[in-house]
Structure 1
Amino acid sequence: MKPDQSLILVVDDITSNLKILGGILQPKGFNVTFAKNGQQALERIVSSQPDLILLDLMMPEMDGLTVCKLLKEDDRFRKIPIIFLTASHEQDHLLQAFSEGAVDYIKKPFNAPELLARVETHLELKHLQDRDAQQLAQERLIRHVVQATMESLDLKDILKAAVDGIRDYFKADRVLIYQYIYEYMDSDRRELECSKGRIVAESLVNSYTSFLGLSLGECPWFVTDTKDPRSVHFYNTATNMETSHHKAKLLQWQVKAELVSPIFQRSEHWGSLIIHRCQSSEPWVPETVQVLSSLLEQLELAIQQAHLYQQLQLANQELRQLANVDSLTGVANRRYFDTYLAETWAQLQQEQALFSLILCDIDYFKAYNDHYGHPHGDACLQQVAQAIAQATHRPTDLAARYGGEEFALLLPHTSPEGAQQVAQRLQQNIAALAIPHAQSNLDPHLTLSIGLSTLMPNPASSPEQLVSMADRALYHAKEQGRNCLKIWDA
């Protein structure tokens, strides 16, 4: 580590000692700042964050031991090496100095070669420790993102873990991930344009404004370098800004330093990582780009895996939909009817709530099919299925194709009177269709026979009993001339 990259704080209440030490250190290229008492030293440490402290052991008001103890109790400064400056008659205090956290001591009067050797040694040790600590922090951050990927393939969880880890690592006040939304520019769907987007993840110090959910038009960060689209952009409100609008926005949001890095998915500009410092305008160090490069490599992989998982989930959902839906009519199939009946029965048994079932059958459908043909028969089934589904509007009700021309409506939390109203709406819907049926012995238009049953699920009854009761009611409706509703009364 070069001397001009280090800042040394010299603390001594005797001005001549400060001059001597400055005269030894500054010609060698070290940056040096001075303090004449303990309180002034603490103020200098907060404002300048020195790399090494040369601290007089014995001073009036606040001695070096007290200063050392206060620093070692503060997480911000405990790792700064402290070398005590001591006279020969102060040797008894050195043991206590080391117990408080000192790393070395130098006797007065000062020997320049010895002082420089000790200073250079401890600066090099601190540099190595800082480098190791930074490397460990980088590895911890990467591991944090990888762990989030292993624990959850949900993109929201992964992005939240990433912004939390990044904010902690960079000691930032706000970290955002902005996702772009691409739309086709032409009707041929050949050329994509990024016209929308929003903040999808955020980690924030509580006192600052949240940007979560903001859209592209509300953010000044849509920055792409056409020569190097993967470049990282650094901004400081006191120096370099792209536009006055950008600067005004950052000042409005109390941002002093900003970093914007693109996130890619293959060759597509997927989004941006934005890091804000609001309390400090400390410039971003070159090592930041290297850290971000490693991090974004893992983050981009995690996003890709999350997208693949999301596509798999959608594909599975479609498969489940196909497995549960009757392909001709679009309502639930018999398989899903049986599953939903069993699950809802168990739930209503716990709740001690009524469960109603409507079974209905198209009157003389075989004659309809023979007369009009199977294509018309299929179209008829589709219209009837939709009319049945539209007879109820609650999300917990289920319309299903029970057999060839037989349909069912499962009605949880429904009394016999409520189910009868649904059945009447169903009859009205069928009548409104006015589907011609020249082969019916009842009516020139298509009609339904309907059976209805209601039970309160309990250990002594079963779902099969509810179905059997509705089936018997339907049988009676057919026996008594069809085109009517019968309610099973045990």
Structure 2
Amino acid sequence: MIATAQESQSLVLIVDDEPFIRMILRHFLEREGYKIAEAQNGREALTAFNQLHPDIILLDAIMPDMDGFECCTHLELLDCGKHTPVLMITGLEDQESVDRAFAVGAMDYVTKPIHWPVLRQRVKRLIQQSQLQQKLEAVNVELQRLVTIDGLTQVANRRRFEEYFNQEWQRLKREQRPLSLILCDVDFFKSYNDTYGHRVGDRCLQEIAQAIKDIINRPADLVARYGGEEFVVILPDTDVEGAIHVAEKICHAVRTLAIPHENSPVKAYVTISVGLTTQIPQPDSDLEEMIDEADRALYEAKAAGRDRFVQNILTTQK
């Protein structure tokens, strides 16, 4: 049996095999302004938890089939349960039972017969602590995102690139699988800034970053601003043919933007030069060498006339 009263804000899941205990707990907590859900055993509690995601669980320690200790152990294993406090309700006050309650994940306990002012304060405190913890974690996630994102273009920054490139280099070295790196440079960008001004130049970089990001859509791939008008793309588990296909799409996407550049010696619009390389990282190889190789390919693309990509040292114009 799972019953829910339609009131107020925080949802309390009451788990007890005794209907009378559930009834008095429900009446007390409803008067305190909580919404209530009920379960009469541990297994039912797990089902109710997965369906309702309560803000707190009042869990009877001694129940048939699955007791509160075992139920609490199962709740701890659920990802979505990490923020949900469990308040154990027990008639046991011995040291072993109290230690066991905390060991399986209970945040606090109250004893039977229930002291209602104590229950009121502990429920309120545990919910507030849980909500505060969730807010702090959300803030930390956002702060972590901000320190790895380039403020202008909203793609990954140089720091994130270096962290992720090293991570994927080490992983693919172990697995002996290919890693591709694409280095991009906006052609004659200094001239563009001198002609149109830095604010327009910033908008140009934002459009190009978005165009590249729209192409790079696998979860494992990463687009980053390497510095200035340079962008870099990491393509794990991507062979030469796959990297060439992506490089060709990047060049085409930037051309398609048709951003006017009247002083470009190449075209009347903004273009991009691209260098790429693909390796299966070896135990004696160096990731810095791979960056240098992509950079040499980029230099070759510029020397060959720009608005093109080069794979390693071989010019491949598209």
Tell me, yes or no, whether TM beats 0.5: yes
CA 1:435/1:371 → structure 2, altered by over 3 Å: closer, same or farther? same
Report matched runs for 1:218-367 at 5 Å. 290-367=114-191
CA 1:479/1:207 → structure 2, altered by over 3 Å: closer, same or farther? closer
Asked if 1:481 corresponds to 2:305, the answer is: yes
Distance in 2 (alpha carbons) for counterparts of 1:208 and 1:467 = 54
CA 1:435/1:171 → structure 2, altered by over 3 Å: closer, same or farther? same
Q: For residue 227 of structure 2, give the secondary structure of its aligned residue in structure 1.
A: coil
For the Cα contact (< 8 Å) 2:39–2:45, is it kept in 1?
no
CA 1:349/1:204 → structure 2, altered by over 3 Å: closer, same or farther? farther
TM-superposition CA deviations, 1:452-479 (whole Å, max 9, x none): 0111122111221211111110011011
Task: Return the match for 2:192 from 368, 379, 382.
Answer: 368
The one-letter code matched in structure 2 to 1:455 is: Q
Query: Structure 2 length as normaliser, TM-score?
Result: 0.67
What does residue 227 of structure 2 align with? 403
Asked if 1:414 corresponds to 2:238, the answer is: yes
Distance in 1 (alpha carbons) for counterparts of 2:299 and 2:176 = 29
For the Cα contact (< 8 Å) 1:416–1:453, is it kept in 2?
yes
What does residue 167 of structure 1 align with? 16
What does residue 428 of structure 1 align with? 252
The one-letter code matched in structure 1 to 2:143 is: L
Distance in 1 (alpha carbons) for counterparts of 2:244 and 2:39 = 52
CA 1:311/1:430 → structure 2, altered by over 3 Å: closer, same or farther? same
What does residue 446 of structure 1 align with? 270
Structure 1, unaligned runs of 5 or more: 1-154, 178-193, 216-272, 276-286
CA 1:407/1:211 → structure 2, altered by over 3 Å: closer, same or farther? same
For the Cα contact (< 8 Å) 2:17–2:41, is it kept in 1?
no
Query: Structure 1 length as normaliser, TM-score?
Result: 0.45
Asked if 1:204 corresponds to 2:41, the answer is: yes
Give the length in aligned residue pairs.
242
Asked if 1:384 corresponds to 2:208, the answer is: yes
Distance in 2 (alpha carbons) for counterparts of 1:203 and 1:457 = 57
> Post-superposition shift, 1:299?
2.5
For the Cα contact (< 8 Å) 1:391–1:423, is it kept in 2?
no
Distance in 2 (alpha carbons) for counterparts of 1:209 and 1:330 = 41
Distance in 1 (alpha carbons) for counterparts of 2:280 and 2:45 = 55
What is the root-mean-square deviation in Å for CA atoms of aligned residues? 3.6
CA 1:486/1:214 → structure 2, altered by over 3 Å: closer, same or farther? closer
Distance in 2 (alpha carbons) for counterparts of 1:408 and 1:480 = 20
Q: For residue 460 of structure 1, give the secondary structure of its aligned residue in structure 2.
A: coil
> Post-superposition shift, 1:290?
4.5
> Post-superposition shift, 1:338?
0.5
For the Cα contact (< 8 Å) 2:181–2:294, is it kept in 1?
yes
Task: Could you list the structure 1 runs, at least 4 aligned residues long, displaced by more than 6 angstroms after superposition.
Answer: 168-174
Flag the structure with more relative contact order, 1 or 2, with Cα contacts below 8 A and sequence separation at least 6: 2
Q: For residue 223 of structure 2, give the secondary structure of its aligned residue in structure 1.
A: strand
